[in-house]
Amino acid sequence: MYRETDIIQSADQSPEGYMIINVGPQHPATHGVLHLVITLNGETIKKVEPHLGYIHRSIEKMCESLSYRQFIYVTSRMDYLSAHINNHACALCVEKGLQVEIPERAKVIRVLMDELTRIASHELWWGAMAMDLGAFTPFFHAFRERETINDIMEETCGARLTMNYMVPGGVMHDIHPNFQRRVKEFIQLYKSKIHEYDELVTGNIIFQNRMKGVGILSAEDAISYGCTGPVARGSGVSSDIRKVQPYEIYDKLQFDEVLETGCDSFARYLIRIKEMNQSIRIVEQLIDNIPEGDFQAKTKAVLKLPKGEFYTRVETARGELGVYIVSEGGTTPYRIKFRSPGFSNLSVLDKIARGGKIGDLIAMMGTLDLVIPDIDR
Amino acid sequence: MKIVPVKKYISDVFGAIKSLATGMKRTMYYFTHHKEIITQQYPDNRNTLELPERFKGEVVMPHDENNEHRCTGCQACELACPNGTIKVIFKNELTPEGKKKKAIDKLVYHLELCTMCNLCVEACPSDAIKMAQTFEHSVFDRSKLTKVLNNPGSKIMEGVE
Amino acid sequence: MPSFYEIADQLHSWLNANFNPTWVLIIEMVLAGVAVIGLFAVLGLVLVIMERKVSAWMQIRLGPNRVGPKGMLQSLADTVKLIVKEGMTPSGADKFLFNLAPYIAMIVAMLLLAPIAFAGNFQLWDINVGVLYVSAISSLSVISVLMAGWASNNKCSLLGAMRSGAQIVSYELTAGLSVLAIVVLAGDLKISAIVASQSDGWWIFKGHIPAIIAFVTFIIAVTAETNRAPFDLAEAESELTAGFHTEYSGMKFALFFLAEYVNVFIVCALGATLFLGGPMPLHIGNWEGFNHAMDYVPSSLWFFGKTFFLIFLIMWFRWTFPRLRIDQLLNLEWKYLLPISMINLLIVTAMAILKWHF
Amino acid sequence: MTNEELKAKLTEWHPEASFEEGGEWVNLVSTTGNLLSLMQQLRQEPSLSFDYLFCLTCVDFKTQLTMVYHLTSTTLRHKLVVKVKLDPKQPEVETVSAIWRTAEFLEREVYEMFGVNFLHHPDLRLLILPDGWEGKNPMRKDYEDPVNMIKL
């Protein structure tokens, strides 16, 4: 796929001592098939150039031939760690077109699932990030909590990763009778274990030195590069869609948008740790207050969106996911665009990595929380 | 170059050692507390392993004791499937009154294409298909993944339209 | 139960009675060689399974538990797999150096075993500059790493090798200075003499706080010198895939792997000998009954017990800490460990002159 | 700023600009010639300060290609959709990557998927498609690939 591009040719004329290394497509720290061509001077990074497309499935093109019910399942495969939230965004966008009001119970269930997904995603990120830095043990500790969430998901949605639980008009099944009990058990487990995260990783002097002061991303750059989610919030840019453009019932919930002004890798790290606590807070508010009623609004068997354009923004675990549907009035979307958070977060990597060491690059990639299928779509 | 005062230098060293010791205490706790181990020994616990009833393993068509199923052949599942996993093949059957009636010959299911999205089960108006809780699907020959869901010789249940 | 010393002694006199002295020497050398290789194999197997179990328990999982009782033969099965695997040489590699490097790593590790006192009066070679010998030979291990990294013709390997070079050269200093502290206290470079000087108490107890500081700096420095996490920058699998041994496979990879573990064993054995009394039993002041009971434990058990305690310590580090960055690694050495151990050496010297230690 | 206020303000500036109805946000239709100056104005005008380009894409309407820019402001929180219609035979438009750096990657994606040529783009190369890709642009409606596209 990658043969010889300008960077190789330009490197031939580059100053003596520059070295070009391919990080990926198969590399332990890229968590997927991301391919970075990095130019080094010794250990110092001079340039990072991403090459994408190794896992591009052309989901946008695929969706053009799928009906409005069918295309939602594909989006689970984009950012597989926040599959629920991707599905949620699509369902919201279709509902916006259909002008369906969904039952209150479905809204609450959706938000609960979203927040559990967010916690699960951040758990995995935390483990993987520590592993990138060379500490293996946190990975397994993170999986203990993540698997509990996966079990809850499996019981209610029938799958652990790509659930396809959100459908236009509500959710596919009602929640499982055990759901509330098990979520409460999970909250107990989470609260009894969260301090270990600080003991093992956050407070560790080696970890802090690896993270503090590296990968500086100023607020202006974060905005200009279109960074979203924890990456932008780590630079103090308020960008939580749940706050700035609330959807579902987020405007009625008590939670804080976590902001850090450190602008470095450590700030981005702290954001995600604190965000997990906020998500727990949301789950705690909702878990005993799931209203009775239908879990799905009545919709027609064949959905047809009116001619027009529909755009929804939701906050996934990685940032803002935008779903842009152009409809010509048929049963399939005329054009779908997914504005994925990873794509714009990746574009900033070259900016923040320059001047750092190879180890810093790995740490920065960890704090950007890249999911490659989300970037490539 | 910045000069660090001696006092700060020493407190840095001790702070660092303390933070490292905290982490080591945590790993030592798990090293000595084997009850916290969460591993499931998968092939060994196969007999006791229970999957939730909603788990989406593969699509099956339940038959009753008379070898009758509920599928009317309405093709709703075929239309609902995003991947073309299900193909309904028809045959003509004679009803007891001597009329010709359309019925399914085979409901072909391509497990290798299926993404377990549950849309076919949702779409089915007569609850003829459901998701089974199996998950050990690996086979040595791809053709074995193409399944016929209705049993040979089966027919539609009385009263299902 | 006869001690190692008695067995060796009886063997020696039996050989002397039956063969002429030249043959005795040759037979003894062959026996020693076989013993060292046997020890290598056993150490490799034991340490690998130990590491895997330690890591598993710290990571709330079970670890290997299929091959043999409680999975204890897992590393044997791994060895068989590695031997059967094809050892590939990349086409662009410098074939001679590429194939030589793992053997150099092994030979260095083997040479280091010579002066180690495994039990009371039981040494292969009680050289009079034993500590110096160990310090000198152990710095050679960097050559095999550099050779492997360079000959692989792979940029990741090269970077790993260069990191390793910088790292080992720096940490040699601290390791040397920490060892010197004990040499100053014991007043001898000979391993047997250092062991003998601890018959009334181990140096870590006798030497007050400076000995403890020397012990801590020694442990940190040897962890770095053996390329173990959190100082495993030469491998750094999340950065450089596998660093200097990216291109190695099969038996050649196994040799690197084995050499790493044997190096860990040797530095821990040295640490146990210098700071924890080696084969000397634990004696506490005037507790006659206690001291007497301790004497009944064989000296080889004492030695291996202490060594494995230190090995466990190093494994504990590995499975707890994240990896350092290369500049932080060097900062740690030059800004923290080196000044601390130098000042410490001064204090120890003063202490030795003024006879402040016990 | 509400949609109506925004619309009034934009009409004041660009009397010739047209608006498309529909959608929850203001749809401003610009021309290829005016685009860059309009965008700069939108970014720099303090009462608008559209500093955040959250979506840049292209839609193939067969008779025309439409570039769609979704803009918002991180301080004022209003949104604007800017559209530019391009000729599908030879689609060319000025790059906005100097105004919003995120456009650099997004435009590279549009370049390879739709064949839109962005003038003065700093680094207009293939990003996702393999190097040496020849043939049509995959996201165009007339793209055919008998091997990889399976029609159900």
Query: Looking at the predicted structure, is the pLDDT value of residue A57 above 80?
Result: yes
Over residues B136-142, the mean pLDDT reads 87
Q: Tokens representing C243?
A: 């660093």
Query: Do chains C and D touch by CB distance (3+ pairs < 8 Å)?
Result: no
Give partners of A (≥3 CB pairs < 8 A): B, C, D
Domain ranges of chain B: 6-36, 58-156
Q: Tokens representing D61?
A: 């309407």
**What b/e readout covers A249-270, taking b as 16+ CB neighbours within 10 angstroms?**
ebeebebeebbbebbbbbbbbb
Confirm or reject contact between A330 and chain D (CB < 8 A): no
Whole-number percent of chain B with pLDDT over 70? 91
Q: Tokens representing A130?
A: 């520590």
Q: Tokens representing C29?
A: 């050398």
Are the C-beta atoms of A69 and A260 separated by less than 8 Å? no
Q: Tokens representing B35?
A: 């009850």
Please write the tens of the pLDDT for every residue from D94-126. Answer: 888 888 888 888 888 888 888 888 888 888 888
CATH number of the structural domain A59-372: 1.10.645.10
pLDDT of res. D151: 62
Query: Looking at the predicted structure, is the pLDDT value of residue A1 above 60?
Result: no
Distance CA C310, CA A343 (A): 47
Please write the tens of the pLDDT for every residue from A245-288. Answer: 888 888 888 888 888 888 888 888 888 888 888 889 888 888 88
Confirm or reject contact between C62 and chain B (CB < 8 A): yes
pLDDT of res. C172: 86
Residue A7 pLDDT class (50, 70, 90 cuts): very low
Contact A237 D74 (CB under 8 A): yes
Contact D101 A347 (CB under 8 A): yes
pLDDT of res. D1: 66
Contact C57 B20 (CB under 8 A): no
Please write the tens of the pLDDT for every residue from C136-177. Answer: 888 888 888 888 888 888 888 888 888 888 888 888 888 888
Q: Which residue has tokens 């991301």?
A: A34
* In-domain check, residue D62: yes
pLDDT of res. C67: 83
Nearest to B30 among C60, C317, C336 (CB): C60
Give partners of D (≥3 CB pairs < 8 A): A
pLDDT of res. B2: 66
Distance CA A87, CA A84 (A): 5
3-state secondary structure of A51: strand
Contact A322 D54 (CB under 8 A): yes
Among C95-104, C181-190, D6-15, where is mean pLDDT lowest? D6-15
Distance CA B50, CA A79 (A): 29
Distance CA C198, CA C196 (A): 5
Cis peptide before A230 (omega within 30 of 0): no
Are the C-beta atoms of A253 and A282 separated by less than 8 Å? yes
pLDDT of res. C1: 52
pLDDT of res. A14: 57
Contact D152 A339 (CB under 8 A): no
Length of chain A measured in residues: 377
For B37, nearest residue in chain C (alpha carbons): C60
For B119, nearest residue in chain A (alpha carbons): A70
Over residues D143-149, the mean pLDDT reads 74
Q: Rg for chain B (alpha carbons), in Å?
A: 29
* In-domain check, residue D111: no
Confirm or reject contact between A244 and chain D (CB < 8 A): yes
Query: Looking at the predicted structure, is the pLDDT value of residue C283 above 80?
Result: no
Q: Which residues contact A349 (CB under 8 A, 6 or more apart)?
A: A36, A48, A50, A364, A365, A368
Confirm or reject contact between A137 and chain C (CB < 8 A): yes
As for the ipTM of the complex, it is 0.84
Residue A3 pLDDT class (50, 70, 90 cuts): very low
Are the C-beta atoms of B52 and A176 separated by less than 8 Å? yes
Are the C-beta atoms of D126 and D133 separated by less than 8 Å? yes
Distance CA A268, CA A275 (A): 11
Residue B161 pLDDT class (50, 70, 90 cuts): low
* In-domain check, residue D79: yes
3-state secondary structure of A19: strand
φ/ψ of residue D122, rounded to 5? -70, -25
Query: Looking at the predicted structure, is the pLDDT value of residue C50 above 60?
Result: yes
pLDDT of res. A221: 86
Contact C238 A132 (CB under 8 A): yes
Over residues A314-330, the mean pLDDT reads 87
Nearest to C239 among A20, A141, A359 (CB): A359
Query: Looking at the predicted structure, is the pLDDT value of residue A9 above 70?
Result: no
Taking the CA of residue A20 and the nearest CA in chain C, the distance in Å comes to 8
Query: Looking at the predicted structure, is the pLDDT value of residue A296 above 60?
Result: yes
pLDDT of res. A15: 63
Distance CA A364, CA A230 (A): 13
φ/ψ of residue B107, rounded to 5? -110, 100
**CATH top class, domain B58-156:** alpha beta
Confirm or reject contact between A57 and chain D (CB < 8 A): no
pLDDT of res. B24: 86
Query: Looking at the predicted structure, is the pLDDT value of residue C358 above 80?
Result: no
Q: Which residues of A touch D81 (CB under 8 A)?
A: 309
Q: Which residues of A touch C163 (CB under 8 A)?
A: 43
Q: Which residue has tokens 């060292």?
A: C36
Q: Give, rounded to a whole angstrom, the gap between the first and last alpha carbons of chain B.
A: 86
For B16, nearest residue in chain A (alpha carbons): A205
